[in-house]
Amino acid sequence: MTRLFGTDGVRGQANTVLTAPLALKLGAAAAQVLTADLPSHKKRPTAIIGRDPRVSGEMLAAALSAGLASRGVEVLRVGVLPTPALAYLTDDYGADIGVMVSASHNPMPDNGIKFFSAGGRKLPDAVEDEIERAMADLPETGPTGTGVGRIIEEAPDAEERYLNHLREAVRTDLSGIKVVVDTANGAASVVAPTAYAAAGAEVTPIFNTPNAYNINDNCGSTHIEQVQRAVVEQGADLGLAHDGDADRCLAVDAEGNVVDGDQIMAILAVGMKERNDLRDNKLVATVMSNLGLKLAMAEQGIDIVPTKVGDRYVLEELQHLDLSLGGEQSGHVIIPEHCSTGDGTLTGLSVMARMAETGKSLKELAAVMTVLPQVLVNVPVADKTSIAGDPSVVAAIAEAEEELGDTGRVLLRPSGTEELFRVMVEAPEEAVARRVAGRLAAVVTAV
């Protein structure tokens, strides 16, 4: 049976895969599981629900609210806010459950549901599995009378609470920095430009007029060419591109060159080490991070701690080892002192703060790392779970690793959300990486 939860919550096309009845059951089951261990003296469990601006979010948030309230949970709906804002507010309001309705960087027809526990933490796999089991055995009836939860439709101070949190997290004056920010017509369309301007930056926002249908539509971090063009046209110092729920941030230097999540982590790690803020001189990064990051950090005396792909696994490792910085090449950057998940706006503020503190351009800062050519091939397969152990695939990987030696890297893994097998190859030259990746993809296809 296919697992309902993927690498980042429940996701699918709204109203076909991800329906209102499914959201209703998810809300009720989450209430049952996530409030099971609350102390008996607590009067009533509470939940906070936020969403990005896509049209189906209204429907799904309403269904989730009903499901939670039907099990006695008091629900506060905070409206359109980024995922990291929802995570922060779950903790700040002292809520027991946080729910974000968003499909992040996916196109508008899709939507998703992400749950957070008390403190704004993403759920471990085991708890998600427990919610999934609870859905199958959910009682049809719940508490009655005063036992039914209420739904509060407005939280007028939610946005300001989050903005105050960002102001406290990054206090560097950004005056004199000119930035273009692409908010993907998404959840950060208001808060990201506001936060950057409040810190003193001169802000030019683009794609910041959501209409419920245009989220991620040829804009944002998955279409970074938009902000590249705007930065050059505006003569800005840098550009920042968020995804639909603003847990990601990619950057562009003044010449229009992309500065990805690996380079951002390198920039921030060096700065934190200089300030003695990089605990144990370690940086947590997924196995998809560029080999160039590992080589650059080694030169700086910083060790890489590898994890599985997914910011939740980065966070788990940060918590387990009590470390202070981690993230993904895609632009999820986690600074546990200030956030419990990737926070694109905080990342943007941190990058600009480093520019202001050093007086260096983003291009100069990014030069700490040389990005090795990386080729990724997504191979459609009938059963992604059977590929890795196939003898022909194992032999092909061994041959590729012997060919590349210490100068490159090979990584094959199943997609967490689709029936795809991902083939990634890094090499000193792109032509070599493409040749090896193509050879490996052909072997996977033949299995």
Indicate which residues carry an active-site annotation.
Answer: 104
User: Is 104 annotated as belonging to a binding site?
Assistant: yes
Written as one letter, the residue type at 443 is V
Phi/psi for 286 (5° steps) reads -80, 170
CA–CA separation, 250 vs 105, rounded Å?
A: 13
Phi/psi for 116 (5° steps) reads -125, 145
Task: Annotate 392-427 with DSSP letters as a single string.
Answer: HHHHHHHHHHHHHGGG-EEEEEE-SSSSEEEEEEE-
CA–CA separation, 422 vs 161, rounded Å?
A: 40
Q: Please give, one letter per residue, the 3-state secondary structure of 14-36.
A: ECCCECHHHHHHHHHHHHHHHCC
The residues near 171 (Cβ < 8 Å, ≥ 6 apart) are none
CA–CA separation, 161 vs 216, rounded Å?
A: 26
Considering only CA atoms, which of 139, 55, 50 is closest in space to residue 98?
50
Helix H or strand E segment including 259: strand 258-259
Residue 267 and residue 357 in contact, taking contact as beta carbons nearer than 8 Å: no
User: Is 243 annotated as belonging to a binding site?
Assistant: yes
Which tokens go with 161? Answer: 């609470």
CA–CA separation, 88 vs 13, rounded Å?
A: 27
User: Is 245 annotated as belonging to a binding site?
Assistant: yes
> How far is Cα of residue 364 from the mean position of the Cα atoms in its chain?
26
Residues comprising the chain, all counted: 447
CA–CA separation, 440 vs 63, rounded Å?
A: 45
User: Is 37 annotated as belonging to a binding site?
Assistant: no
Tell me the binding residues: 104, 243, 245, 247
Binding residues for Mg(2+): 104, 243, 245, 247
